[in-house]
Amino acid sequence: MTDQLRPHVKPQEPWRQRLVRTLLYGRDVDRTAKARARIGLAIIAFAAVYAVIGGRLVMFAAGSDGPSARRSAQQDAIATARPDIVDRNGAVLATDVKTPSLFAEPRRLIDKDEAIELLTATLPDLDTNEVRERMMSRKGFVWLKREMTPKQQQDIHRLGLPGVGFLRENKRVYPTGNEVAHLIGLVNIDNQGIAGMEKWLDNQGLADLHRAGFATDRLQKPVELSVDLRVEHALRDELLKAKEKFKTKAASGLVVNVRTGEIIAMVSLPDFDPNNPKEAHDPDRINRLTTGVYEMGSTFKAFTLAMALDTGKYDLNSLWDARGPLHYGKFAIHDDEPKGRFLNMKEVFYFSSNVGAARIALTQGVEGHKAFLRKMGQFDRLRTELPESASPILPKRWAELNTVTIAFGHGMAVAPLQGVMGVSALVNGGLLIPPTFMKRTEAEAMAIAKRVIKPETSEKMRYLMRLNAEVGTARKADVKGYYIGGKTGTAEKVINGRYAKKKVLTLFTAVIPADKPKYQLLIMLDEPQPLKETYGFITSGWNAVPTAGNVISRIGPLLGIEPRFDLPPSDRQILAASRLTQ
């Protein structure tokens, strides 16, 4: 048989190869198809690996300055955006601006020592040890310098350091500087309010919005305050002049709308620039109008007389024995300018008689006196939008002697704003209205007002205040055309537990105009010095009163008070108009 006719016989496969093939591929498997599948699987695996590597490279590239990679760190810059604060006319008092801040990512730094050397050389104000400590940490993000200048940012850019970059943050700026410092307050490096209206904003929910990430730049409406920047400037300017002229330790002033409780201006000197927060730490730069408490001197006599008149048992012609000092135990109460005779209610007020005021208070008794002052809001800590406030200092045991001295403003200390609130109630018709730094209408004020004295008592108090400007201690503040009224006060300061006659706090509270008051002005000078032109006197009539006159002449037109000339005396303009016969 030839080879062509012999059947083809497949060579026998060795048993070892047959075993390996069976274990690897199984029986009856197409090895070509299996190879193609394995090649495809390898291609997919390599593609996936290269995709992951490429993605990581893209993330690193975008992460150096991109806003999404460091969301937790950048969230602080976004969340601490704050609304503008404006005065009642829309003038900006506080706003945000964008500033660059320098950060580092220690894990990405190639040569940390070189980076530290270059950065501290470029920014000499950086502390080398502090920078090194932060750079050597295992954190993914650290701040190096907050709130840089554009030039500093440019200098750092030129270094070309990997792992070092910038975030744009919100920085709070105060265009008016010192003008409204105590009112506005200030923020910390993270743009969080720490004093004044800035802190109040955070307490009203702004801090919660920050944490939730909703308080972004342009989603917030400006906050409108009651303050008028024009009036604030005029008041501060005159207080600066008075502080220099009378060489005082401090000078303060308030302007408030007696019909709404709105605070139109508030100045306490020395003040600070909120753009330079370090100044605010000076303990002498406190807000003396809300955080300080003082014996208010003879301005408290207004409360004493109103208390007696409101009972209906006494009128403006009631007589009080002021022939000599009032002796109480081992103490003797004197008048600065004794008249040696009986004084009627009007004379007690415009002669500012300590003896007369003490006798008036004694007729009401200790409990009656306490009840009236409590009703006038002088017993409790005054709460306003400003977080900074102080509680009154009251006698631990209130006896008759306390009533005698408190009747003329000694022995009890209150925050000046608290005293202003009470005096406003004496002249606005008898309504106690809580003061506010926010805009408020008269209707809104009436909704929260509390009647504390009768309308006719308020009419008599307006008359007494105007009479004091005509013939009493307030004559030097009687600016023609504005028909002011007011009450002076001079309180001896307590030094080492004793009253010091040559160290006094002088006050003057004025109402404008006296017949239909709309505004009240308080001037307070701490330790004014005697001058040749004051004939050596340091009482209120020689310093606080003329300062108030200067302020009124400047703020009257700003407040829209139209001058009225040739008005009749107070007995005809006020008393006759109200048909009071006393």
Q: Shortest CA distance to 398 belongs to which of 360, 365, 363?
A: 365
Nearest to 490 by CA among 481, 498, 502: 502
Best CA proximity match to 295, nearest among 412, 193, 392, 396? 412
In which residue are the tokens 């024009």 written?
Answer: 230
Instruction: Return the structure tokens found at 226.
Output: 């009651």
Question: Which H or E element spans position 505?
Answer: strand 498-512
Q: Is 318 a catalytic residue?
A: no
Would you call 483 helix, strand, or coil by DSSP? Answer: coil
- Enter the DSSP assignment of 189: T
168 and 150 Cβ atoms separated by less than 8 Å: no
Q: Which helix (H) or strand (E) holds 342?
A: strand 341-344
Number of H helices, E strands in the chain: 19, 20
| CA 209/CA 215 separation, integer angstroms | 5
Half-sphere exposure of 294 (CA within 13 A, CB side): 28
Residue 197's H or E segment, with its range, is helix 196-201
Give the total residue count for the chain.
582
E-strand spans in 176-309? 186-187, 193-195, 223-224, 250-257, 263-269, 294-295
Q: Exactly one of 268, 298, 458, 540 is catalytic; which is it? A: 298
Burial class of 266 by CB neighbour count within 10 A (0 to 12, 13 to 18, 19+): buried
Q: Which amino acid, residue 301?
A: K
**Burial of residue 337, with CB atoms counted within 10 A of its CB: 0-12 exposed, 13-18 middle, 19 or more buried:** exposed
Give catalytic residue positions.
298
